[in-house]
Amino acid sequence: MTKTTRIDARFAALKKEKRPALITFITAGDPDPETSKAILGGLADAGADVIELGMPFSDPMADGPAIQASSQRALKGGQTMVKTLQMVRDFRAKDAATPIVLMGYYNPIYVYGNGRFIADAKAAGVDGLIVVDVPPEADEELCLPALRAGLNFIRLATPTTDKARLPAVLSNTSGFVYYVSITGITGAAAPEVNDVQKHVGAIKSATPLPVVVGFGVKSGEQARALGQTADGVVVGSALVSRIEKSLGAKGEATSKTTKDVLELVKELSSALRAY
């Protein structure tokens, strides 16, 4: 893969600005298609540099209760892969610069069809994929075809990724490396900055790719501390929790839903720009 992607361009621009990226995660279709579209459309203006859009799945094993619940809300509301890709198309009609990464699990992609998915994702304006349950040993299945199509394929490294395993994780990875700052599920605990710094340093010594940190980041203060070590900070569970807390008695979106999520994004962005 030799062509510069939106992800490559965004991280190059941020390097010149000498600040880390704010990477935001929401689940497509949560809490309903229209509200989700409104949130997605407002993320970049609120300060998101890269957007991870979750592909809803009935059994998101690596995710904590907040993101699990977001997938359930989205699926209950009728979200499908076709609708998720349409969300990206609609976003691209208004924003040609902000990178979008589809994140999730292999099952919905497999059901959709690998070749069809890669072609449709590329055509919709997707820039990269994070598929948490496809290991490097299965690169021929999805990773390599995605790379050939011009999509970045982003892998996760964890606190248990040792020196022997790291080369396999980095092989065929592009765009950036996502360091999972805690062991366990998303949103379960706060990352320990000193531990993160050590692991991020080890990854950086093995790859020229940007290294971003996610899992457990809930506040601007945490994001700022981690951003002094990493090239970007991912916030997901905290945003999804904002959605959940804003819902009405029957689980419906309210006038606060979009506003509350984007206010948190603004807070996080301000913290990462205040170096």
Which one is catalytic: 8, 30, 32, 52?
Answer: 52
Query: Do 232 and 210 form a contact (C-beta atoms < 8 A)?
Result: yes
Which one is catalytic: 30, 49, 63, 120?
Answer: 63
User: Helices marked H in 125-256 — which ranges?
Assistant: 143-148, 166-170, 193-204, 220-227, 237-246
Strands (E), the chain: 21-27, 50-54, 100-104, 128-131, 152-153, 156-157, 177-180, 211-214, 232-235
Query: Do 247 and 253 form a contact (C-beta atoms < 8 A)?
Result: yes
Q: CA angle 142-147-83, nearest 5°?
A: 65
Active site residue 52: yes
Residues noted as catalytic: 52, 63
